[in-house]
Structure 1
Amino acid sequence: MSALVICGAPAAGMPGAPSRLVDPDSPAVRATDSGLLRGDGVFETVGIHGGRLHDLEPHLERLAQSAAMLDLPTPDLGVFREAVATAAHALLADFAEPPATAMCKIVYTRGEEHAPPPGRPTGFVLAEPFPDVSHDRAEGVSAVVLNRGYPRGVGEQAPWLLAGAKTLSYAVNMAALRHAHARGAKDAILVTTDGYVLEAPRSSVLVRVGQRVVTPAVEGGLLHGTAQRAAFASLEAHGFACEYRDVHIEELTEADSVWLTDSVQLMRPVRELDRRELPIDAALTATVNEDLLSHP
């Protein structure tokens, strides 16, 4: 089951037909679309938990930020907001009871590869259920450390690499996950060539040391996680000090807890890193996830 909405005019000021709900098996983009051919576009994934969209506005804001980094025409966030609501409603209408976890993927590309300026961007929203992740949230996941292939600070030194933008060019991220699976792990934590923690292929990394929880500084060219921000708010409400700073790889194995956070799977503890067991605070993890699920 899924629901697909094609945005008729996804760019601000762009003329076009209204957005429309279509058969999810129908074509969504042309074969000459630069998002398909070159990964020249951006996306966001919004979690739907218990039938409710979570943190939609931060995702739309980040979509606009990523689009600006790619010099894409400014997206019409009102069009995407309405498309998300339509797709989510259509998906949930197919269920007697809302699925525990679903997601809404927002996609915005440059459109036709050789379209004359200002071009004609493509936009669509796809909503679909997500597999049950309650076991991973409770019991944790295994992960391996993988080298991302560039040093700390590359986002500032080489902005054309688009570090910190959520682009459709996810081949490296998916290759990292496949490599982790081949090594018997569920996920991966990416690090710089000089030993600093970045993020997981689809999640932010949180590290607890005593009563302090840290995550790598976004100034290093990282995606600013929406679920990570919500987790920080919950942790601070429960008495933890939260901080953005550089995190060295050695801190992972010395930490009291390590988590991966994202908008769909929420907060998952890392129970094993490179075959080395890490401590899990099941009670704290459950508390934060309850807060995330109750937060619209």
Structure 2
Amino acid sequence: MAAHAPLLALLDGTLADIASPLVRADDLGVVRGDGVFDATLVRRGAVRDREEHLDRLERSAAILQLPAPDRAGYGRAIDALVAAWDFGAAPEALIRLVLTRGPEGGGEPTAFAMMLPLSPAAIAERDRGVSITLLGRGHDGDEVAAMPWLLPGAKSLSYSINMAAKRHAVAHGFDDVVFVAPSGQLLEGPTSTLVVDRGGRLATPPQDGILASITLDHLLRDAPSAGLEVAFEPMEPADLSAADGAWLLSSGRLLAAITAVDGEPMPRSPLDAALRRVLDV
């Protein structure tokens, strides 16, 4: 079966040719990464956590002092993409919502939504899990939270460091990354949130300076009804090594069990099946 081509929608709800020019060469989103985005999973026509992702796009825009996103316009774009998508060819897809500051000399922000198939690698990693490496990050979470110019909590287009970390991991035989602060505290992945099974309790690092995870919010909301306990707890690499299991959570891949840390095998948590049910994996 041929792969589904990406689709592009404008905020008036019309589809555009993804191969035709849309962004000016002097757009600040292109030349400086000055903009925000968000992305949500779509399964057979159902947009996962739609309103929550629009909320986070608004929060990110506010942090960057961008104009408030046209929420109704993004809603029209989402509806147009979902209506045009062939879910028989690609049952799972990502919708990416983009907002930039616009041309460098001034003008209207650039805004659009794009839909593309969820990568086969992301789907496979849900089942087989991921091997990770621990990489340093230059600031502790609470330090970043106190420095608004570092854009803590914003999902900005300036994603080159995150992507460089993942390329570094893959080049050295790993699937993904968890960042470690200078203090030794575990943080997050480049595109994911860490959750650890500590003797039957689920723990995740404190959210200071970390992008709020919608998938984690889903877990925090629904875990108690499934008999699962989740708490924010500071953790170091030794805590990860001693854990009964761990996962990376994200909006597209949803959940991937960590199978090894820097080459050391990690057990599959006894809570894995319950966590998958809670997150509807």
Shift of 1:75: 1.0
In structure 2, distance between residues paired with 1:108 and 1:229: 24
> Residue 123 of structure 1 aligns to a residue in which SS?
strand
In structure 1, distance between residues paired with 2:276 and 2:259: 17
Any stretches of 5+ residues in structure 1 without a counterpart?
8-17
Runs of 4+ in 1 over 6 A off after TM superposition: none
The one-letter code of the counterpart of 1:195 is G
1:116-265 matched pairs, under 5 angstroms: 119-132=107-120, 133-218=122-207, 220-265=208-253
In structure 1, distance between residues paired with 2:275 and 2:157: 30
| Contact 2:41–2:92, Cα closer than 8 Å, also in 1 | yes
Shift of 1:244: 2.0
The one-letter code of the counterpart of 2:164 is A
Identity across the alignment (%) = 36
Q: Verify: 1:292 aligned to 2:273, yes or no.
A: no
The one-letter code of the counterpart of 2:155 is K
> How many residue pairs align between the two structures?
276
Q: Verify: 1:74 aligned to 2:68, yes or no.
A: yes
Q: Verify: 1:53 aligned to 2:40, yes or no.
A: no
Q: Verify: 1:5 aligned to 2:9, yes or no.
A: yes
| Contact 1:138–1:286, Cα closer than 8 Å, also in 2 | no
Shift of 1:88: 2.2
In structure 1, distance between residues paired with 2:22 and 2:143: 34
In structure 2, distance between residues paired with 1:172 and 1:189: 13
Scaled by the length of structure 2, the TM-score of the pair is 0.92
Shift of 1:2: 1.6
Shift of 1:126: 0.3
Shift of 1:100: 3.5
In structure 2, distance between residues paired with 1:213 and 1:240: 7
In structure 2, distance between residues paired with 1:208 and 1:34: 42
Shift of 1:82: 1.7
In structure 1, distance between residues paired with 2:271 and 2:123: 15
Shift of 1:164: 1.6
> Residue 153 of structure 1 aligns to a residue in which SS?
helix
1:106 counterpart residue number: 97
Shift of 1:5: 0.7
The one-letter code of the counterpart of 2:232 is Y
Question: 1:9-39, CA deviations, whole angstroms, 9 ceiling, x for partnerless residues?
Answer: xxxxxxxxx3421112112211111001100
Shift of 1:290: 4.0
The one-letter code of the counterpart of 2:230 is C
Q: Aligned in 2, Cα 1:287/1:245: closer, same or farther, shift over 3 Å?
A: closer
In structure 2, distance between residues paired with 1:139 and 1:235: 23
Question: 1:141-176, CA deviations, whole angstroms, 9 ceiling, x for partnerless residues?
Answer: 100000011123122331101122100000000000
Scaled by the length of structure 1, the TM-score of the pair is 0.88
